[in-house]
C-alpha cells in the first residue's frame, strides 16, 4: 500500500489537551504502557520468528548435505577412483558436520524439556550416525574395498530415511511455532488497536466536550492502524501505515511499518529460496532426462561414426550447447583426435583432421592425460583456451573423460556462449552420460572388430570348403543327369550353354560359404511354359538345401574315413604290442601294413641307410599275406 501525505501533528497530545486533561494524560500514560508492553511482546515475537527461521534454514541445509553426501558416495563408488572419492566425501562430511554443530548451538538456547530441543537433539544424533558411517568409507575407498563402501552406502540410505522422518518432525514443530508466533504478532497488533480504543473511548466519555476534535484525529489514526493490521493479517505484507503524527501514534506507525517490512523481507526471502531450489531441481531433472535420452540413443547405434555424429547432435540440441565435440585417443595414446562435432566451426576442424597432444595442449589434452573432468571459464588463466577462430562465441567450456574400465578412450568437449555456464554439479550429471557414451563407443568398436573377424573366418572356411570339394570331385563322378527315367552319372560336367536369355533354361548355383561347388541346370521343352519367378525362388531354395545336404554328406564321409584310419592304426598298434621278438614284430608289421589299400609290395631294411650290411624283411601284399 502506498503511503499518502497528511499534515503532521507537531504537538503532543498533552499540549493539545491542555488544562483539564490531567485524567486524560494519566490514561494516555497507561495506554502508552500498554503500547510498550505490546510492542515488547511484538519484538519478542519477531525474535522468535527469526529464531524459528534460522532453525528451519539450518535443518534444511543439513538435510540437503545428507542427500549430497549419500549421492557423492554413490556416484564416486561407481567411478571407483579412491582419490576423488576421499576428496568429495570428506568435503561433504565437513559441510554436514558444520550444520550439525550449528543445530547443537541452536538447541542450547532452548529449555532442556522443550520438545523442539529434543527433536533437534534427535536430528543431531541422526546426523552423527550418518557421519560415523560415512567417514570410514574413505578408508575403504583408499583400500579399494568397494564392496564395503557399497554396503555402507545401503546402510546410509536407511539412516537417511530415518533422518528424513526426524527432520520432518522437527520442521513440522518449528513451523507450528512459527505459525503461533505469527498469530501472536497479529494478536498483539490487534491488541494495539483494541486497547487504546477502549482507553480513548473512556477518555471521550470524561472529556467529550474538551477533546472532541482531538478524539476525532485519534480515531482516524486508529482506523488506519486497524485497516493496515487487518491487511497485514490477510497476507498483504506490502501494507504500510502513513506517518501523519509525531506522537505515540507516529511511533506506533513506524514500529508497525518496521514489523511489516521485516515480515515482507522474510516472506520474500522464503519465496526466493523456494524459487531457487525449484529452478535448480527443474534444471537438474531436465539434464537427467536429456542425459538419459542421449545415452539410450547412443546405445542403440552400432556404427562408431554414426554413433559419434548422433551423440554430439543430441547433446547439442538437448542441452542447448553452442558446440559439442568428441575426441578419441589414438592407439599410441599420443593424440586426442576430433571425430565428431555439432557446430559449423567444429566440422571445419573435423575436416582439417584437428587433434591435440594428450596431456599437453588445451583443456581436452589435459582431460585426456589426467582422466579428470575440467571446467574452463572465459576469465583469468582459462581465457587462453578460448582463442579459437573456429569457435569465436565460446565463453565457457567443460571437458569430460570417456572412460571404459578405468581407461580413457576419449574426451567429450561441450562449449557454451554463456559465461560460467557450467558448475561442479553439472559434472556429476554429464559424467554419467559420458560414461554411457564411452561404453557405447567401446561396444560399437568391439562389434566392428567381431564382424571383421567373422568375415575373415567365413572367407577362410569358404576356401577350405572349396579345396575339400575339389579333392572330393577328383575321386568321384563330376556330374549327374536325370533323363526322365533314371539318374545317370556323366563323365564330364555339362556346362550351361547360351547367353542366359533362354526362359526355359534355369541355372542355379550350389554355394557354400560364398564358394560355388556346383551347378543345377534345369531345362524345359519348347511346349512347356517358361520358368516363373516363384519357381525360380523355389529352385534357389532347393539349391541352398542341396548345398547343405552335400556338405553334411561330405563331412560325414570324411569323418568315417578318419574313424577307419584311426581304427586301423589302433589295431596295428595292438598287434605290434603282442610280441617282444624283433623278427616277429617285423613280420607282424609287414602283414598289418599290407592291409593298406593299393599297396603291392612292402619291404623293411634293418641297418645303415646305405651299404651291404642291411637285413631285408620283405612280404608281398595281397590276400595270401593277410592269412
pLDDT digits (tens, 9 = 90+) for 575-604: 777 766 777 777 777 777 776 666 667 777
Lowest mean pLDDT among 226-240, 449-463, 474-488: 474-488
Select the more confidently predicted residue: 244 or 401: 401
d(C-alpha 182, C-alpha 175), whole Å: 10
Which residues is 516 bridged to in the sheet? 511
pLDDT higher for 189 or 494?
189
The sign of the CA dihedral 578, 581, 584, 588 is: positive
Instruction: State pLDDT tens for residues 303-326.
Output: 778 878 888 888 888 778 889 898
Whole-Å CA distances, 154 to 82, 84, 135, 167, 594 = 19, 20, 14, 20, 78
pLDDT at 285: 67
**Rounded to 5 degrees, what angle do the CA atoms 558, 560, 566 make?**
105
DSSP string, 436-462: HHHHHHHHHHHHHHHHHHHHHHHHHHH
Reduced to 3 states (helix: H, G, I; strand: E, B; else coil), residue 288 is: helix
Q: For residue 19, what pLDDT band results from cuts at 50, 70 and 90?
A: low
195 φ, ψ to 5°?
-60, -55
- Residue among 188, 201, 51 at smallest CA distance from 120: 51
Query: 217-227 pLDDT, tens per residue?
Result: 667 777 777 88
Mean pLDDT of 191-219: 67
Cα–Cα nearest to 239, from 207, 215, 219, 267:
267
Digit-coded pLDDT (tens) for 131-181: 888 788 888 788 888 888 788 888 877 777 877 787 788 778 777 877 787
- pLDDT (average), residues 356-379: 82
Tell me the chain's radius of gyration from C-alpha atoms.
48
Question: Residue 385 CB: number of other CB atoms within 10 A?
Answer: 20
In whole angstroms, how far apart are CA 521 and each of 477, 518, 529?
A: 16, 10, 16
Q: Could you tell me where in the chain the CATH 1.20.120.1730 domains are found?
A: 17-280
pLDDT bucket at 203, cuts 50 / 70 / 90: low
- The DSSP string of 535-579 is HHHHHHHHHHHHHHHHHHHHHHHHHHHHHHHHHHHHHHHHHHTT-
Q: Which of 72-81, 87-96, 194-203 is predicted with the least confidence, judged by mean pLDDT?
A: 194-203
CATH of 300-450, one of 3.40.50.2000, 3.40.50.720, 3.30.450.40, 3.50.50.60: 3.30.450.40
Question: For the chain, what percent of residues have pLDDT higher than 70?
Answer: 71
pLDDT attached to residue 276: 67
C-alpha–C-alpha distance, residues 625 and 583, integer Å: 16
d(CA 216, CA 214): 5
Does residue 469 surpass a pLDDT of 50? yes
> Which grid cell is 74?
554413490
pLDDT for 384 beyond 70:
no
- Which of 18-22, 345-349, 354-358 has the weakest average pLDDT? 18-22
pLDDT on residue 474: 62
Check whether 2 has a pLDDT greater than 60: no
Which uninterrupted H or E stretch holds 401? strand 396-404
Cβ atoms 401, 413 nearer than 8 A: no
**Residue 542, number of CB atoms within 10 A of its CB:** 14
Residue 620: per-residue pLDDT: 45
Question: Residue 342's closest CA among 373, 321, 367, 328?
Answer: 321
Which CATH code of 2.30.30.30, 3.40.50.1100, 1.10.1740.10, 1.20.120.1730 fits the domain covering 17-280? 1.20.120.1730
Is the pLDDT confidence value at 528 over 60?
A: yes
Q: Can you tell me the distance from the alpha carbon of 624 to that of 627, in angstroms, rounded to the nearest whole number?
A: 6
Judged against a pLDDT cut of 50, whether residue 8 lies above it is answered with no
The per-residue pLDDT for 7 is: 45
How far apart, in whole angstroms, are the C-alpha atoms of residue 360 and residue 376?
16
Are the C-beta atoms of residues 44 and 259 closer than 8 Å to each other? no
pLDDT, mean over the chain? 74
Vertex 482 angle, CA 477 and 484, to 5°: 155
* Most confident of the following: 366-370, 376-380, 514-518, 540-544: 366-370
String of DSSP letters for 488-511: EEESS--PPPS-S--TTEEEEEEE
Q: Which three cell numbers stand for residue 530?
A: 517358361
Location of each CATH 3.30.450.40 domain in the chain: 300-450
Three-state secondary structure along 49-107?
HHHHHHHHHHHHHHHHHHHHHHHHHHHHHHHCCHHHHHHHHHHHHHHHHHHHHHHHHHH
Nearest to 68, CA basis, from 44, 88, 53: 88
Confidence of residue 342 (pLDDT cuts 50, 70, 90): confident
Task: Tell me the pLDDT band of 405, cut-offs 50, 70 and 90.
Answer: confident
Amino acid at each position: 500500500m502506498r503511503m499518502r501525505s497528511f499534515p503532521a501533528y507537531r504537538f503532543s497530545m498533552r499540549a493539545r489537551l491542555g488544562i483539564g486533561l490531567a485524567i486524560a494524560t494519566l490514561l494516555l500514560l497507561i495506554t502508552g504502557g500498554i503500547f510498550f508492553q505490546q510492542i515488547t511482546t511484538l519484538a519478542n515475537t519477531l525474535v522468535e520468528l527469526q529464531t524459528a527461521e534460522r532453525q528451519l534454514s539450518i535443518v534444511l541445509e543439513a538435510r540437503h548435505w545428507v542427500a549430497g553426501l549419500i549421492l557423492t558416495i554413490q556416484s564416486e563408488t561407481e567411478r571407483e577412483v579412491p582419490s576423488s572419492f576421499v576428496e568429495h566425501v570428506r568435503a561433504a562430511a565437513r559441510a554436514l558436520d558444520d550444520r550439525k554443530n550449528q543445530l547443537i548451538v541452536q538447541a542450547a538456547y532452548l529449555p532442556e524439556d522443550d520438545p523442539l530441543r529434543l527433536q533437534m537433539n534427535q536430528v543431531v544424533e541422526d546426523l552423527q550416525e550418518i557421519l560415523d558411517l560415512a567417514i570410514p568409507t574413505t578408508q575403504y575407498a583408499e583400500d579399494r574395498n568397494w564392496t564395503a563402501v557399497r554396503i555402507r552406502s545401503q546402510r546410509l540410505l536407511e539412516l537417511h530415511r530415518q533422518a528424513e522422518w526426524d527432520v520432518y518432525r522437527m520442521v513440522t514443530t518449528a513451523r507450528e511455532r512459527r505459525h503461533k508466533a505469527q498469530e501472536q504478532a497479529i494478536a498483539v497488533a490487534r491488541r494495539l488497536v483494541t486497547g487504546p480504543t477502549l482507553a480513548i473511548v473512556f477518555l471521550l466519555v470524561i472529556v467529550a466536550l474538551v477533546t472532541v476534535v482531538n478524539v476525532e484525529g485519534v480515531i482516524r489514526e486508529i482506523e488506519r492502524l486497524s485497516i493496515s493490521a487487518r491487511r497485514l493479517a490477510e497476507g498483504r505484507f506490502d501494507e504500510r501505515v502513513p506517518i501523519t503524527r509525531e506522537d505515540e501514534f507516529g511511533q506506533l506507525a513506524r514500529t508497525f511499518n518496521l514489523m511489516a517490512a521485516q515480515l515482507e523481507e522474510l516472506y520474500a526471502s522464503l519465496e526466493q529460496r523456494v524459487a531457487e531450489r525449484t529452478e535448480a531441481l527443474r534444471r537438474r531433472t531436465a539434464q537427467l532426462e536429456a542425459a538419459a535420452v542421449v545415452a539410450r540413443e547412443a546405445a542403440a547405434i552400432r556404427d562408431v561414426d554414426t554413433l559419434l555424429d548422433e551423440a554430439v547432435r543430441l547433446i547439442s540440441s538437448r542441452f542447448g550447447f553452442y558446440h559439442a565435440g568428441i575426441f578419441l585417443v589414438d592407439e599410441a595414446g599420443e593424440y586426442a583426435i576430433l571425430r565428431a562435432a555439432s557446430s559449423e566451426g567444429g566440422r571445419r576442424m573435423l575436416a582439417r583432421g584437428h587433434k591435440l597432444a594428450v596431456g599437453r595442449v588445451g583443456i581436452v589434452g589435459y582431460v585426456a592425460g589426467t582422466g579428470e573432468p575440467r571446467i574452463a571459464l572465459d576469465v583469468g588463466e582459462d581465457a587462453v583456451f578460448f582463442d579459437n577462430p573456429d569457435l569465436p562465441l565460446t565463453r565457457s567450456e567443460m571437458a569430460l573423460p570417456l572412460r571404459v574400465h578405468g581407461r580413457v578412450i576419449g574426451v567429450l568437449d561441450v562449449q557454451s556462449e554463456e559465461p560460467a555456464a557450467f558448475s561442479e554439479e553439472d559434472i556429476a550429471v554429464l559424467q554419467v552420460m559420458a560414461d554411457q557414451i564411452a561404453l557405447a563407443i567401446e561396444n560399437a568398436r568391439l562389434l566392428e572388430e567381431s564382424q571383421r573377424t567373422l568375415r575373415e573366418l567365413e572367407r577362410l572356411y569358404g576356401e577350405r570348403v572349396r579345396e575339400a570339394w575339389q579333392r572330393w570331385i577328383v575321386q568321384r563322378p563330376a556330374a549327374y543327369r536325370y533323363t526322365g527315367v533314371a539318374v545317370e552319372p556323366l563323365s564330364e560336367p555339362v556346362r550351361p550353354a547360351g547367353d542366359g536369355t533362354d526362359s526355359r533354361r534355369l541355372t542355379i548355383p550350389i554355394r557354400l560359404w560364398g564358394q560355388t561347388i556346383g551347378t543345377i541346370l534345369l531345362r524345359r521343352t519348347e511346349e512347356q511354359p517358361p520358368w516363373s519367378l516363384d519357381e525360380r525362388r523355389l529352385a534357389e531354395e532347393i539349391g541352398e538345401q542341396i548345398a547343405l545336404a552335400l556338405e553334411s554328406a561330405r563331412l560325414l564321409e570324411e569323418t568315417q574315413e578318419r574313424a577307419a584310419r584311426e581304427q586301423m592304426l589302433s589295431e596295428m598298434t595292438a598287434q605290434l604290442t603282442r610280441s617282444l621278438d624283433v623278427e616277429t614284430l617285423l613280420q607282424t608289421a609287414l602283414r598289418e601294413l599290407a592291409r593298406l589299400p593299393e599297396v603291392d609290395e612292402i619291404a623293411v631294411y634293418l641297418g645303415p641307410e646305405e651299404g651291404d650290411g642291411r637285413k631285408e624283411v620283405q612280404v608281398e601284399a595281397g590276400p595270401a599275406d593277410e592269412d
